[in-house]
Structure 1
């Protein structure tokens, strides 16, 4: 990405535009150094350093103490969440998440794509004594989560391949997918049946089912998942039951977002 070329800059402050470009690049990449940002944005290092320092001071950027690299802060996530609560997917999906949690008795999550990763933006926790799930604001790779694997196969082919090529196939457990060819095969199966399965690929002892949410153009804009401890899971009973529940919930949310089959 490079800094946008503005032909009419009379009413724009160039440094503000550059600062937002930095935030957008960090959103796409996750974590970058001053040098990384300078190269990717074709921007002078001194300028990048000044802008990043200002963004850090204002609380919009944070710095990893070990790597010294920068990433967007939770302040931006909190602002985004407030927007979604008022007008977007989070507000619309909430009653369907609550219904899905009641039907399954398990933890239900809502996530959106951010760059090549998934960010969890809402959840309904199970009322069981032993709970499973991720905190709101958690960011994870797409290849090892029910939400990520539900989202990926319904993206435009070119965009999906870009994510597959950019993914670092970290093995969180012995069940994690190790390369893009294996992931591509799994995603083809997911596309065929309409829902994803994460069987202990991120956390041992946890199985998740995911389904995509579409906008009025038919593009995925989010996904939901049901997370269940393996000791409570009976495949012959729960796979069909949970997949039907989650597909129904995702379909209802998609219709609310303007999608029609």
Structure 2
């Protein structure tokens, strides 16, 4: 009788919430299955703190829509192919430029420097969007510009995400030309820098691409955890020193994660 009353209470709460509670619980079930790989009704009910009959009812609805399927051998439930059908439609609809725009503008307003969004195209970092700081010195339009991967902060972030073989192909195609006396043109030295970039989660360059220009960049990840872009802040070397500016690198990292989250990324 107690179990029945508990189940009735669950149903009543769902009805009072206009189905919102059922939706929330269904999403919780999907998160549990995504985390565990598979789970039985009892396990799910115990973790969620609700009655098994409520879990069975919700799982049944998910099974009917192919969002969840039952493993015939173990009797436990797993995510179904319907999830793939839904998920596959997301990346093509997400535009990193659109999702990043608000974040770029906020960074430019806060730090009063130029903020760029870059992607890897044809062995170069291509700037696809830009937010300008209020400084009169920040007037160059980088959108559409092809910049060398080895000499820019965004480029080093994008290079660090490639495999050694992929980097070799890039360098065979375009080389490591010096843009300034400070450009790193030695492959071994560059690889050491890229290890630091991967470890630290950001890259800085001091007058490697252009004399008088300093920049720092962080990666942007997609739903699969792959680096798909980089967001950078750049400014004149005489006033812009990212490592010495309190909170700047932390804020830039948080901005990168915000954009990544909008692209479906979830840190593991």
Give your verdict on TM over 0.5: yes
Given that 2:243 and 2:249 are in contact with CA atoms closer than 8 Å, whether structure 1 keeps it comes out as no
CA contact (8 A) 1:151 1:211 kept: no
Tell me the residue number matched to 1:138.
145
C-alpha separation in 1, matches of 2:241 and 2:186? 29
What are the superposed Cα offsets for residues 158-192 of structure 1, whole Å, 9 maximum, x if unpaired? 32343244341111111001122121111011111
Q: How many angstroms apart in 1 are the aligned matches of 2:205 and 2:100?
A: 22
TM-score, scaled to structure 1: 0.63
Among 94, 97, 100, the residue aligned to 1:90: 97
Output the CA distance in 2 between the equivalents of 1:121 and 1:176. Answer: 23
Answer yes or no: is 1:169 the counterpart of 2:169: no
The Cα RMSD (Å) is: 2.0
SS of the equivalent of 2:247 reads: helix
Distance 1:138 1:193, change over 3 A: same
Name the counterpart of 1:120.
127
Give the structure 1 partner of residue 232 of structure 2: 225
Shift of 1:242: 2.1
Correspondent of 1:160 among 154, 162, 167: 167
Aligned to 1:256: 262
1:205 aligned residue (189, 206, 212): 212
Structure 2 residue aligned with 1:246: 252
- Structure 1's unaligned 5+ residue stretches are 1-83
- Residue 96 of structure 1: CA displacement? 0.6
Q: Please say if residues 119 and 140 of structure 1, whose CA atoms lie closer than 8 Å, have aligned partners that are also in contact.
A: yes
CA contact (8 A) 1:132 1:229 kept: no
Gaps of 5+ in 2: 1-90
- The answer as to whether partners of 1:208 and 1:225 remain within 8 angstroms in 2 is yes
Deviation at 1:233, TM superposition (A): 2.5
Could you report, residue by residue, the CA deviation over 1:122-174 in whole angstroms, capped at 9, with x for unpaired residues?
A: 00112112116542111111001111111111234432343244341111111
Aligned pair count reads: 176
- Pick closer, same or farther for the CA change 1:196–1:232 going to 2, 3 Å: same
Q: Would the alpha carbon gap of residues 235 and 147 (structure 1) be closer, same or farther in structure 2, given more than 3 Å must change?
A: closer
**Structure 1 residue 218, shift from structure 2 partner:** 1.0
Contact 1:110–1:223 (Cα < 8 Å) also in 2: yes
Aligned partners of 1:152 and 1:160 also within 8 Å: yes
Check whether the contact 2:94–2:263 (CA below 8 A) recurs between aligned residues.
no
